[in-house]
Structure formats: structure tokens, C-alpha cells
Amino acid sequence: MKAEPIIRNYKNSVDDRELVWVPLSDGRKLAARIVLPKNANEDPVPIILEYLPYRRRDGTRARDEINMYWFAANGYAFVRLDISGTGDSDGLVEDEYVKREQDDGIEAITWLADQDWCSGSVGMIGISWGGFNGLQIAARRPPALKAVISLCSTVDRYNDDVHFMGGCLLSDNMDWGSAFFTFGALPPDPKMVGEEKWEQMWKTRIDGLDLYPALWVEHQRRDAFWKHGSVQEDYDLIQCPVLAVSGWADGYPTAVFKLIENLNIPSKGIIGPWGHKYPNEGVPGPAIGFLQECKRWWDHWLKDIDTGVDKDPAMRLFLQESERPAPHFDTRKGRWLGVPSWPSKSIKEDTYFFNGNRLSATQNKTTFNPQLTVSSPQTTGVYGGEWCGYGLGKVAPELPLDQREDDSGSLVFDGDPLLNPISIVGEGRVKLYVSSDAPQALIAVRLNNIHPDGAVERISYGVLNLSHRESDENPDTLTPNKFYEVTVKLKGVAQIIPKGHRLRIAVSTSYWPLIWPSPTSTVITIDPSHSTVSLPILYDEDNFHNIKFLPPEHAQPLNMTVKKVGDESRTFTHKFDDLSTKFIVKRDDGSSIIDDIGTEISFTKEKILSIKRDDPLSAAMEFNCTAQYKRDDWDARVETTTHATCDKTHFYLSGSLKAFSKGELFVSRKFNQKIERDCM
């Protein structure tokens, strides 16, 4: 059963400042909403800053309402700050995580810390973008920034974000890019910036737009573009304590492992069963009392109160039980592990060997071990779910389905039924000795759990562009039919495999629609005698901490009037005449009025991903987004469409945007780019 949160009404105990202008040295102003204790001027308090491009006025307001009021009632000023060129802030957004964004953040922190109601200490919190820039600004060391809570973030913008994975181009590059293309074109609120200037600000934003998916595809190697903002370039630059948080259904658990392993300052990690969500609203559940956990963190590092967070285990990980695969879980079965140190001596690496098409704990050196080949249909991967579970309850189901369909297009290596249960905790890897019949190829590797009734549950996976086998900065094409030793890193997990179940490794040459296909259908040959699987196995919990979180609680939710109920769907269709597959996701948020400001908001998004079974060059993606804001005589609507196709040598990306004011076309733009494939 999903635990209902404890809801507390703090409306009369805090001061809500709807609009505060934060001045910058070049004359621009950033728009902030600040909620703080009513007596903060007499008894100054620390600041918790969330710094985002997602419209504090009418974008993140529902989440802000339950978090900001809670923190203000518990002794903190919470500041929601719009990044330049977004929400009601001056300027242009430019791109993700640009230096100017960091510079503005540092200026804002300095100004905020100097306010009469602030004690001088600032903490940054954020999920996704706000998790990224919290780490990035921490690496710049503004003196007032004393601690960070970073959720669902990355330390490596190239390989652990929505753009690339294992050197492969993710479809999320287009998915997120189309959304950002839309968000960058949204108008400011006339009531905030003034009736006389909002339209000019809107036009300036649209004129400054880039076709962001194409901008990112122009950088197919891990070059300076991606190194900027990737804090793994120098972990020692971060000198304030970090609490890193993610979920197994999220796209970003890797950062938690890397931060705890590499930071040389106090740092702790929490990974639950959740998707891309704050854990107090975590889905799949169980949700936890995350705001209370944050308060422990802030009290310790911002108020010098000994709350014991420095004595918390290095990692608190949710160990999931095995369950039949399903597209959605409200709650996952399992329990919490309190791992005292990370890496943990209680977790040992077990090696499994490929003996023919079998997977075993011992290597058979006496039996002939023939080479095996695979050439997967381009549709292999349609049961893989999303790279990142964003909605998990808001949008249609996103988790991987029964893997038997994808396994049918893969080379599989099955183990014997387990004589005892095992717990896989951490990040595994698969070493393969492979050759390709083409100079450009990719492989996808899945670690699966075969249930006694035949259902196949995906536990983890990894992908590798074989041209990136040694370097993401300097990829090198393959010599056809030459063997190479390559390593595929598996996504981190904490999962029990029960007695009687079997492990399976599945290897395919495609993984659509998660990643863009190679330019040609390829045949991969694997030499099992030189290939192994390494899995992190939990052997004992003798020194582990007993972990109990408080139940989730938050402030009173935002009052909204629903005018039209939304709808979500995920479908895919096969056509037998041309062997094509279409994967279609439709999201309609309906329309709702935010009661306290009177703004009606609506948003729709459709993505159509298509490919033919035997033709990688048929890969195509289309995204359509519409966002609308209405109030009194204000009616602003943005419609965008983005497309991506390819041939053997190039990617072709296009985008169009139309902005409407009161139903009349206000401005439109079109983009077309041809980008050479670079070992991709």
C-alpha cells in the first residue's frame, strides 16, 4: 500500500514573498519567490536555494508549495530562483549549465546571504537541473554556500546524462531537447515583468533560441563542451558537504556512487526505488520523510546543530526484492541497507564465465568453446522502458517489460538455477571479446533474472559504442573481423535474485528506441572463452546500520481548479507490409487553474519513434509540444515540432516553433541542421 503523507498547514506561520528581484552586476535581474519564517528579520535564518529554468511562478509552483512552506515553518528561508531567460528573469537561457548561469548563481548567493533576514549561510538543493548546478556552483566555492543536496544529477555530462551513454546517442537527447526547445520559448508573466514589456521579452527569448538537440549532437565526443560542468574533472574543487540522492528507476544513480567514492569532504548517498522524483513523493514507493532528512542535513551544516548526519552510513540503499516485470509499480517490495562505508568490504565481486551459451561460476577450460554470432533486429529494445522514469504515475508506465521479446533478438547466456539467493548491490560489468563485420557497431548488454515460470525481469543493462571502447574523447573505428576486448559497465542496482531463479546475460547489436542505431546492420562475434561477467554480491551485513526513515510529510498542497482532466498513453504498433515499428507516447496534462494567481496552464507532448526491422537508416523521431498560459486577457501559447533522421554519414535535425498571443501568430522560427556522424 502507498503511504499517505502527513500534511501540515503552515499558511499563517510564514511570509510568502511572491516576487523579489535579485540584482546582477551587469544590470539584469533574476526573479525569485521567497518563503521565510515571519520573524526572520528579528531572528535571521539560513537560506535553501533552488535555482531552475522551470518557471517558479507557474511551473514548479505545486512542488514548491509543499516544500517551501515546510522548510520556512521549520526555520529556513526557501528561495526559488529563475535562471536568466526563464520564468520572469531577464536575459537569455542560452543552453544547459553555461558559465554565465554559474556566475549569476554565485552573485545571487552573495546578495541573498547579505540580506537582513539571512544568517549568512546558504544551502543549495535541486533535482535534475538544480542537482546539476548545485554541484557545479559548489565547485566554484562561493563563501556563503555551506552544503548541497543534489538529487538525480550527474558528475559526467557526457556519459551520464540524457545525451550519450557508453558513447551511444540516446533518444532522450531529442526527447529532452524538444522539451527544452519549448521551455526556452515560454513567455514571462505580464503581472511580474509589466504589461508594457512582456511581449518584447518573449520575442527576445524566441529570437535567442537554438535547436538544442542539434547543438548537442554537434559534440559527439567527450570534448570541452561536455567537460564544462562535469565535476568529475576535479572532485577536489567541491569543498562543502554533499548529500547525493537518486533512485533505481531514475537515470542518474551513477552520480551517487561516484560522488561518495571520490569526494574528499563529508558526503552521504541515498538511493531508493524511485524514479526522477523527490523521495517524499517517490514512485515507486516506499516514499520517505525526505524533508525531515533534509532538515537534519541543513541543521547540521547550516546551523551547527549536531543532528548526527556525519555518523550516518555512507550509503543508504533500498534492496529490492524480485518481482514479475510490470510497466509500473506503485511500491516496490524490499528493505533498506545502511552501508557503513563505500566501497564496502561486505560486497565482493563474483565472476561468472561464458561456457558456450551458458553462464557459470567456474570456467570450463577443457571443453571446446565455439565463437557465437548475433545480428539483432533493429526493433530489439522496444520492451526496455525509458532511460529515465520521469513521471511514474503522472505519465504512462515507463518501466521495462518482460524481456523475452527483446531476448529473442539477442544472444543469451543462461545460468543454472540458483541454489541460494544472492543480492547484487552496486555496479557490475561485462567483459567481452568481440569482433564486428563493420567498422561502426554497438552492443547492448542486459543482466536479466529468469523467473521459474519463464518470465524475464531486467535487473540492469549497459550499452557501448564499440568505437568508444577505449576513449570517449578519441574514438576509433573498428577493423572488421578483428577481435577486441571491451568492457560494458552495467547500471547500478540493489536487487535480490531468489533461490531457483537463473541469471541471464543478453547481448544485442541494437537497443531501439533507447539508443540510435549504428549506420549499418552489423554481425557481432563473441569469443566466450575470453568473456566474463563481474557482479557485486553482498555477502554479509554484520556492521550495517539499521535504517528507518520517518513517514513522508509536507505542507498543504497548492489549490488548483481542474478544468480538463489529462490523459496518457504508450503504444507501439508493428506493420507487417514493411516490417516497421512505431513507438508512440502521448501526454496530455489537461488544463488547470492555479487558484491563488488565477493562471490557467496546459501542456501536451507527443513523441513518435519509428524504425524498420532490418533498416537502421529508417530510424526517425518526431516530437510535438504545446504549452499555454491564460489569465484575464493574457493568452500565450507555444507550439513546437522537432524531427531527427539519418543516413550513413549524417544526422538530419529540424525544428519549428510558433508562438501565439490571444490566438494570433506572434512569431515563428524554423531550424534545419545537417550534422556529420562522427564514429556514431
* pLDDT score of 507: 98
What is the SS3 assignment for 214-264?
Answer: HHHHCCCCCCHHHHCCCHHHCHHHCCCCEEEEEECCCCCHHHHHHHHHHCC
| Residues 650 and 674 sit within 8 Å (Cβ to Cβ) | yes
3-state SS, residue 330: coil
Q: What is the pLDDT of residue 391?
A: 64
Q: Number of H helices and number of E strands within the chain?
A: 11, 35
Kindly report, residue by residue over 438-470, the tens digit of the pLDDT: 999 999 999 999 999 999 999 999 999 999 999
pLDDT at 146: 98
Q: Which three cell numbers stand for residue 383?
A: 520492451
Tell me the per-residue pLDDT of 486-528, one tens digit each, with 9 for 90 and over: 999 999 999 999 999 999 999 999 999 999 999 999 999 999 9
In this structure, what DSSP letter does residue 558 have? Answer: P
**Distance between CA 376 and CA 186 in Å, rounded?**
42
- In this prediction, residue 394 carries a pLDDT of 57
In this structure, are residues 267 and 239 in contact, taking their beta carbons and an 8 Å threshold? Answer: no
pLDDT at 241: 98
Better-predicted residue by pLDDT, 10 or 635: 635
pLDDT of residue 49 exceeding 70: yes
289 Cβ contact partners less than 8 Å away, ≥ 6 residues apart: 280, 549, 550, 551, 552, 553
d(CA 55, CA 628): 13
What secondary structure, in 3-state letters, does 436-498 show? ECCCCCEEEEEEEEECCCCCEEEEEEEEEEHHHCCCCCCCCCCCCCCCEEEEEECCCEEEEEC
Q: For 289-319, how does the pLDDT look when each residue is reduced to its tens digit (9 = 90+)?
A: 999 999 999 999 999 999 999 999 999 999 9
**pLDDT given at position 390:** 83
Mean pLDDT across the stretch 365-375? Answer: 86
Set of cell numbers at residue 166 = 557508453
* Segments making up each domain of the chain, as ranges: 12-157+241-339, 159-227+559-680, 347-538
Overall fold of domain 12-157+241-339: Rossmann fold (3.40.50)
Query: Which of the following CATH numbers is that of domain 347-538: 3.30.300.30, 2.60.40.1250, 2.60.120.260, 3.40.50.2000?
Result: 2.60.120.260
Could you report the per-residue pLDDT of 153-198, keeping only the tens digit for each? 999 999 999 999 999 999 999 999 999 999 999 999 999 999 999 9
pLDDT at res. 396: 61
Q: What is the pLDDT of residue 395?
A: 55
Q: What is the pLDDT of residue 1?
A: 52
Which pLDDT score, from 0 to 100, does residue 653 have?
A: 98
Rounded to the nearest 10°, the torsion over CA 519, 520, 523, 527 is -20
Question: What DSSP designation does 302 have?
Answer: H
Cis peptide before 273 (omega within 30 of 0): no
pLDDT exceeds cutoff 70 at 661: yes
pLDDT for 568: 87
Q: What is the pLDDT of residues 611-640, one digit of tens each?
A: 999 999 999 999 999 999 999 999 999 999
Q: How confident is the model at residue 409 (pLDDT cuts 50, 70, 90)?
A: very high
For position 364, what pLDDT does the model report? 77
Could you read off the pLDDT of 57-94 as tens digits, one per residue? Answer: 999 999 999 999 999 999 999 999 999 999 999 999 99
Q: How much is the pTM?
A: 0.97
